[in-house]
Each structure stands twice: as C-alpha cells, then as structure tokens.
Chain A
C-alpha cells in the first residue's frame, strides 16, 4: 500500500476508528512497519482521539467494576489454580536447589567425616605404638639402670670367664658383690645353643659344685644365685632346663675367685 494513497484516503483515521476490513487492515499494518512517518502520524491521531475521549469521559456506575472483577475471579478458577503453581514454581526451584546443595554438602561432609575417622584411627595406632615404645624404653632404661647400679658398686669385682678348648670363642663377664651377695653376668658373648641344651652356672665350694642357676638364653644381663664361700665360677653345657649335677666333661669355662 502506497504511503500517499494511505494519507490521501484518510486510511489511518479509518484504521483507528476500526472501519477498515481485515484485508485493508493487514495491508495498512505492514505499511506502518515499512514507513516510520506513517507510524508517527498514526501515533498523533491515536493520541488526539484518546485525549479527546478522556476529556469526554463519563464515570461508569461503581457496580460495573465489582461485577467484572467478581466474574473474572469466579470464571477463572482454572487461572486461579494455575496461578499459585506459577508463583510456587520459583520457590520450588529454590527449594530444590537448596536441597541439592544440602545433599551434595552432606555427601562431602560424610566423606570428610570418614577421612577424619581414618586419620584418627591412624593417629590412635601411632599413639599406641609410641606409648608402647616409651614403655619399652622405660623398661629398658630401668633394667639398664638396674644393671648399671649393680655393676658400678665399689664392692663389685669383675671376672671375665674365657672359653676353654671346648669353646674358645665364649666369653662371660661376671660381677660379684660379696657385700650385697649378688652375682650378675653378661652373656652377650656366649655362642647360641640348640633348643635341647642350656648353659648352667656352678659355684665350687670346698670341692662341691653348687647350682647357681640356668642361664636364660633370651637375656644378655642376668642375676645368678649368690653362693657363699665360692672358690670358683664354672659354666657347663647341660640338657635343656638344667641338671642337678654338673656334667664336668661339658665344662666350657671357669675362673677362680679372689
């Protein structure tokens, strides 16, 4: 539709007044989009008519408005039922997001908790180890102290028993305290025996061999029975558990006491 045709025939005015048929209306609408000056002209006509209508407004009876609003809220129960859903939707979305976050959060917290538990277990194990280490060290220290005290007494006499031809590599250091009547020996340098044999220590008192005890295979330092008036210390190899009388042929070392 030509611009001049529209203007000459007052089609814009007819359009505003609703006098155009559907075909003319469609053509005019596309012409308005095409020509901005037509749109401007249309705006002017509309604005003037609207202004004039408002100047000539007559208030409608009040019940009309309430009638309309009542009819709408009655007839649009469907709309009403949809409306809360619409308005709920963003809240549901938010709630879902929060729930998802909480879920992810709790998974994370749970894994963190498990990690922490594992770490705690490790720490507890370490702690136990350390504690038992300390205990061991304490025991060791106490024992060492005990031996140290026993050995360092001014009344102690030290005798080194060296192996004879039967077992030349054997050495036993013995500490004899006649005042406190104690004998301590260091068996660290005694060769290991098989399970069926033990070393046994004897004191010679006036030609008689008196049992001082079986030497514990698992200890380096050990106290033996003190025998009064011992003239010499002797070590024999005996069947496991010790013997009532020394097997003299199995004597490996002896030393005379002062």
Chain B
C-alpha cells in the first residue's frame, strides 16, 4: 500500500524538480554528460520497471535500458517540450525498443498468440514477484487495473489488449479513461491532503 509519507515526499519532490527539469533537458540537448547522468538517476528505474515488465528478462532488460538511454542521448534534440513531458517521450522509446526486440526474437509467436501471452503473463508475473504492480494502481478496480497493466506495463496495443480482456474495443477504451480518471482523483486527494497539511502547519 502507498503510504501518506511516500506520497508527500514524492509530491514535494516533484514540485521542486519541475523548475529544474527544463534546465536539465536543455543541458542534455547541449550534449552535457552530467545532465544525462542526472536524467538517468531520475528516470531509469521507472523506465526499467516498464522494460522488464514487458520482456520479463533481466539481462535483456539491462541491454534495452542501456540502448534506450543511448537513443535518449543521441536523439535528445528531437524531443520537443511543447509536445508533452520528457518522461512520456522516453517511455515511448523504451517501449518501442522492447517491443521491437521481442518481435525480432522467437517470442514473437507467443506475443501474437494472445491467449498464450495472457497465460504466460500471469504465470511469469507470479514467478517474478518483484514485477507485481504497486502504488495507486492497486486502488483501482481489478478490470481497470488489468487494462492499464496490459497497455502500459505489458506494451500491448489497445487492439491486442481488448482481445486479451475479451471486451469490445470501445469498452476497453472506456476502461482506460476511467482508470486514468481514478488515478487522477487519487492524486488529487493527495494534493488536497497536502494543502490541508500546509494550512495546518501555518
């Protein structure tokens, strides 16, 4: 369960880091190696969490993470701050690299045979206990949780995921929307809590 303390720490941290973020990315785009090191510290574990949950292989995940950061380094100037968050951009790189790797390897068959994928996912996730999801997502209703997990952490497309869940695509899309809404509300509660906390401290 996600504790209030952790929430607080994360939120305050994210507020203070917001102003540094632009500067850091600007430096990265100027090919500043220190900036890359800092960006690695900030995002590598989140990206690694995604990569390893898609490929489920530590050695492969290590190589893919390294590959992802090499691309972040080489293509940093193609990131446009007006088109979204830096993390989203990096996430897409990590996800594409992982999916491309899986498609090239013989796991392709398994991925395309979605029923196999479904079983395998559950089996292997159980085996690899540390790959289980944590935090706010655990507060979502099970079908919302599953929908997010499939598209975000397993790298399935909406079309693949709705088949896995055996619901119509439209329904699946609404699952995703509702899930995001619930995540948002959960975070808003945290913001409200923080506001109250700040008021009380004053």
Q: Write the residues of chain A forming the contact surface with B, with a CB cutoff of 8 angstroms.
A: 9-10, 13-14, 16-19, 29, 32-33, 42-61, 63-65, 67-69, 71-73, 76, 79, 83
Contact = CB atoms under 8 A, between A and B. Distances in A.
B45 interface: yes
A49 B135 contact: no
B40 A52 contact: no
A67 B66 contact: yes
Given A53-B49, A60-B65, A68 B40 contact: yes
Please give me the 4 A-B residue pairs with the lowest Cβ-Cβ distance, nearest first.
A55-B135, A57-B45, A18-B92, A60-B48
A68 B66 contact: yes
B157 A10 contact: no
Interface stretch (B30-38, B102-110, B114-122, B192-200): B30-38
A56 B53 CA distance: 10
A19 B155 CA distance: 10
B85 A46 contact: yes
Contact of B37 (A44, A48, A69): A69
B164 interface: no
B176 A13 contact: yes
Contacts, number: 135
Main secondary structure of the interface of B (DSSP, over half): helix
B49 A56 contact: yes
Interface residues of B, number: 56
B45 A49 contact: no
Main secondary structure of the interface of A (DSSP, over half): helix
Interface of B: 2, 10, 31, 33, 36-37, 40-41, 44-50, 52-53, 58, 61-62, 65-66, 69-70, 73, 82-85, 87-88, 91-92, 95-96, 130-131, 133-137, 148, 151-153, 157-158, 173-174, 176-177, 180, 183-184, 187
Given A50-B85, A68-B66, A79-B31, A58 B45 contact: yes
B88 A52 contact: no
Contacts of B187: 47-48, 51
A55 B136 contact: yes
A243 B146 CA distance: 151
A73 B34 CA distance: 11
Contact of B36 (A32, A49, A59, A69): A69
A46 B87 contact: yes
A14 B36 contact: no
A10 B48 contact: no
Given A47-B85, A58-B131, A65-B37, 19 more contacts: A9-B173, A13-B177, A44-B184, A46-B88, A48-B180, A48-B183, A49-B152, A50-B87, A52-B135, A52-B183, A55-B136, A56-B133, A56-B135, A58-B48, A64-B69, A65-B40, A67-B66, A71-B70, A72-B73
Nearest to B72: A68
Contacts of A19: 157-158
Contact of A45 (B33, B46, B66, B180): B180
B46 A76 contact: no
B136 A49 contact: no
Contact of A60 (B37, B44, B88, B157): B44
Contacts of A53: 46-47, 49-50, 87, 91, 152
A206 B91 CA distance: 147
A53 B87 CA distance: 10
A65 B44 contact: yes
A72 B33 contact: yes
B32 to A, nearest CB: 9
A188 B40 CA distance: 114
A55 B2 contact: yes
Contact of B180 (A13, A59, A61, A76): A13
A123 to B, nearest CB: 62
